[in-house]
Structure 1
Amino acid sequence: MAEFRKTGRVGRTVAAILAYAGWAVVAVGLLLALAGALTGATPGAGAPAAGAGPIARVAAAALGAGIALIGLFAVMMAAQTRAALDTADLTRELLSLTRRRQDPRPAAPVVSPKPVPDAAADDVPPMPPSPRPRLAATEDKPGRKRVHPIFSARPPK
């Protein structure tokens, strides 16, 4: 595959920028989570109350953790974009390989030989009749057929 080349330079560049930005958001989110866990207050919200409890520390760290998750989502979308572009390139390459390897001669039709009756096949018994034959629709009133209870909207009598 010496002639294989990656296409979609713009899409790959945008995906790379999105991945770098996502990792930057992850780093900021982790720093915010660490600061919130240590101080007990969301950074930028003012000074924490004296002796912030563990619930306040977890709540303050949750904001940073949420921001870090958003950054990880951006990184994941960038990886998915690169994978989609790689799949398109490889599919294009497989198609070109298939077209180059096709035989220009038309394929001869495959004809199977006529089946020869087998003497041992005659001892197979015929299929038995259905054990429960289908019932014909009966008429409730003259000119009106009674519907089977399974297919009616009203309960059976």
Structure 2
Amino acid sequence: MADQERCRVERRYLAFFTPWGEEAPTPPNIAAGMLADMVQSVLTEALGAETGIVDMDHLIGASMKHTYHVHLWYAYRFVHNHKFKTPWITGVKEHLADGMKDFFKPDVEGKKSAQSAVSKAKRDLLEKFKKELKEECEKHN
């Protein structure tokens, strides 16, 4: 694997829920020069503009009329020798599942199950990023 000090992938995630049957909004494009600490706020602000969205912390107590799908927005870029080599790339993983279940109730058990689904999605993305990082780092050596 690439030298961790010289090559790395910087990443941000934001998990959220939509009521059953509603599609996830598309993550916004992020300007190439945007500072890392601003990415999270841009994603959060874009999400706040959507209606019917519930974040992970507020799933418990959300409307009991619905079950919810969990989605994960992500943004990442590659860094080589502390210099940004790519602009932020954004994406979304929709309808995450915990086992075979891809819907969650707005209660404690539902939140735990959704957190498990989000953790698995992050692990899967990290594997994807590692493969891309190896290719990207070879370009800069």
TM over 0.5: no
Which structure is larger by alpha-carbon Rg, 1 or 2?
A: 1
Alignment TM class, shorter chain as reference: under 0.3
